[in-house]
Amino acid sequence: MMKLIRILTMALAMFGLVQTASHAQPLRIVIDEGVIEPLPIALPTFVAAGGEAAQYAAEITRVIAADLTGTGLFREIPASAHISSVTSFDAPVAYADWKAINAQALVIGAVEMAGGGNLVIKFRLFDVFSGAALGEGLQFSGTVAGWRRIAHKVADVVYSRITGEGGYFDSRVVFVSEEGPKNARQKRLAIMDYDGANVQFLTDSSALVLAPRFSPSGDRVLYTSYESGRPQIYVLDVASVSRVALNTSGGNMTFAPRFSPDGQSVVFSLEQGGNTDVYTVGLDGSGMRRLTDAPSIETAPSFSPDGSRIVFESDRSGTQQLYVMPASGGEATRISFGPGRYGTPVWSPRGDLIAFTKQNAGRFHIGVMRTDGSEERLLTASFLDEGPTWSPNGRVIMFTRESQGEAGAPALYSVDISGRNLRRVATPSAASDPAWGPLQN
Amino acid sequence: MKHLTIAAMLIGALALSACDRNSRFGDDAATAGMGAGGIVPGSPSDPTSPAYFQQTIGDRVLFAVDQSTLSAEAQDVLAKQAAWLMENPEYSAIVEGHADEQGTREYNLALGARRASAVQSYLIDRGVAPNRLRTVSYGKERPLAICSDESCYSQNRRAVTVLTAGAGTS
């Protein structure tokens, strides 16, 4: 694992904007539901100290640009339009040249090779129109092999300083990689960077695997596998790629697991005699408890981030709907009341919204609602969209979209919570069931 | 002697499933990853053969959208399955429950389990020893027909009674 060392001050946790009196409109993107005109940003290729660094400098700059423009909140001003060329990290910024091409934000950086297979990157962010730096310069170092992560870290800082929100670029996604025809699909667990880079497989395709879920710290993954001949939940250690069955005492079908916010227990579904209910159990198999007890299907549970409540789906009313209950079980309150049916609810990491899959009139949607069920908004529509997962900052949702027909196959897509910026996430083959992990340290 | 015959038939079945990828028994043991069991040949006209169970009686029943209720037609098939299983005690069965693709993954797993359980309960009510029957749900993971309209969906909403060698477990 790469170790990042922050050398200069990072007083950016909740960074205040540097404003000057002459600047009427501060450099700031407020993410809300309105249509946003992407903010023009200039990202001249980072200055390289030496030939080897030059190659990384170019690639790192491109990854930072891809991260920022991929949000839909930024528009990169192409290098061909730049008037100034940046040849020194410490040279004074020619604000007039950047202002002339209407760059509102400017990132200047430098890359050098350090000893021991490490890279050092420093960068500064400028508010062009106020003619001032936005926050302090920062320096990151890390291994050459981990160069993409350093680029994502830089992009996360730029995003945070301009939006005032946490970033999500230095994060990973665990998902199911699929191959083969629709009636004999081979599935294996895989993990990748949020942007589809660095795919690694975590299981082989000898047994069907479904719906992996990250632990809060990203070190473990829960998933369902048929390796014993029936669906059972497993816990996989990401670093060692070793797995153990979750001990739920008995040979029943177990599936739809998710971690509690403290990472110490698992909420899941267990089927007995054809009836599926929600249970919790310690990660070590201790203290198993039944949380619902109804003849209907109760599944797809997800904790609120404070651990106090669980949202799940049930067809107790006759169709799949969403319910919220205390984390200890007990009376559940229905929160979904629109037309159609609702499944796979997931509580946002900010705690303010619940994302879900909705089926109505022969179409599938990914949507969000407040935790009391109000203000429902549908973000997508297609033949089959399902299984939302939240970015670490609660601003973007990734999900599975499956195409129709005999050659139909799933792929991963992302959309922001206002329904803008729908994008396909690149994967080497068909892919489903993404689960977005936390920001890495 | 009879066990040898069964063993020979099972070996034949494995060879058959290996070369016949378009078998109409698309949810056989090989594709479902179940290990032993699955397609067993023999003559569909020989009432003691697994082929008779699969093809002449019919090894599957179909369900309406979102339902696990057994239709009169399904009950008729299952009554014959139960009678056959009682006549042929050297077999056990795994009842596989399946759903069509119009549903979320988790819900379909639970729905497939309901369907498998409905079949299992019916067979037990008809006299089959519980220890000869197991269930597994595949949800929407193993469609038999792969188009995206009702002509395929109706075939995929199914429970399949898959014979396995052996008299069951206690």
Domains of chain B: 2-165 (3.30.1330.60)
Give the number of other Cβ atoms within 10 Å of residue A198's Cβ.
13
Structure tokens at A298: 């109760």
Distance from CA of A248 to the nearest CA of B (A): 17
* Residues of chain B contacting A, Cβ within 8 Å: 21, 26, 31, 33-35, 66, 68, 101-107, 109-111, 113-118, 120-121, 135-138, 141-148
The series of mean pLDDT values per 10 residues for chain A, 441 residues long, is: 32 30 59 76 96 94 98 96 95 96 98 93 97 95 96 98 96 98 96 98 97 98 96 97 90 93 98 97 96 98 98 97 98 97 98 98 97 97 98 98 96 96 97 98 85
Instruction: Choose among B107, B118, B138: nearest Cβ to A320.
Output: B107
- Residues A417 and A32: their CA atoms lie apart, in Å, by 9
Residues from chain B contacting residue A402 (CB–CB below 8 Å): 101
| Residue A288 one-letter amino acid | M
ipTM, 2 dp:
0.91
In the prediction, which pLDDT does A104 show? 97
Instruction: Choose among A274, A386, A404: nearest Cβ to B113.
Output: A274
Does B106 contact A359 at a Cβ distance shorter than 8 Å?
no
Pick the CATH number of A5-30+37-163 from 3.40.50.460, 2.70.70.10, 3.40.50.10070, 3.30.360.10: 3.40.50.10070
Does B110 contact A383 at a Cβ distance shorter than 8 Å?
no
**In this model, does residue B21 exceed pLDDT 60?**
no
Structure tokens at A112: 């050098």
Provide the H-helix boundaries in B20-69.
29-32, 50-51
Top-confidence residue, B47 or A34: B47
- In degrees, rounded to 5, the angle at the alpha carbon of residue B14 between the alpha carbons of residues B9 and B20 is 115
**In this model, does residue B169 exceed pLDDT 70?**
no
* Residues of chain A contacting B, Cβ within 8 Å: 181-185, 206-208, 210-211, 226, 229-231, 253, 255-256, 269, 271, 273-276, 297, 299-300, 313, 315, 319-320, 343-344, 357, 359, 383-384, 386-387, 402, 404-406, 408, 433
In the prediction, which pLDDT does A34 show? 62
Top-confidence residue, A403 or B167: A403
Collapsing DSSP states into helix, strand and coil, what is residue A211?
Answer: strand
Structure tokens at A207: 């047994």
In the prediction, which pLDDT does A28 show? 79
In the prediction, which pLDDT does A396 show? 98
- Residues A405 and A410: their CA atoms lie apart, in Å, by 11
Nearest C-alpha neighbor of A437 from the set A159, A190, A121: A190
In the prediction, which pLDDT does A27 show? 77
Instruction: Choose among B34, B118, B143: nearest Cβ to A182.
Output: B143
Beta strands in A306-384 (DSSP E): 309-314, 321-326, 333-334, 341-347, 353-360, 363-370, 377-378
Does B146 contact A183 at a Cβ distance shorter than 8 Å?
yes
What is the dotted CATH code of the domain comprising A171-439? 2.120.10.30
- In degrees, rounded to 5, the angle at the alpha carbon of residue A90 between the alpha carbons of residues A89 and A91 is 100
Name the strands in the sheet holding A333-334, side by side, starting at the edge strand that comes first in the sequence: A298-303, A309-314, A321-326, A333-334
Residues from chain A contacting residue B113 (CB–CB below 8 Å): 253, 271, 274, 276
Which position has the token pair 């090779």? A113
Report CA A82 to chain centroid distance, whole Å. 33
Does A271 contact B146 at a Cβ distance shorter than 8 Å?
no
In the prediction, which pLDDT does B26 show? 37
> Tens of pLDDT along A274-297?
999 999 999 999 999 999 999 999
Residues from chain B contacting residue A274 (CB–CB below 8 Å): 68, 113-118, 120-121, 135
Where are chain A's structural domains?
5-30+37-163, 171-439
Distance from CA of B102 to the nearest CA of A (A): 8
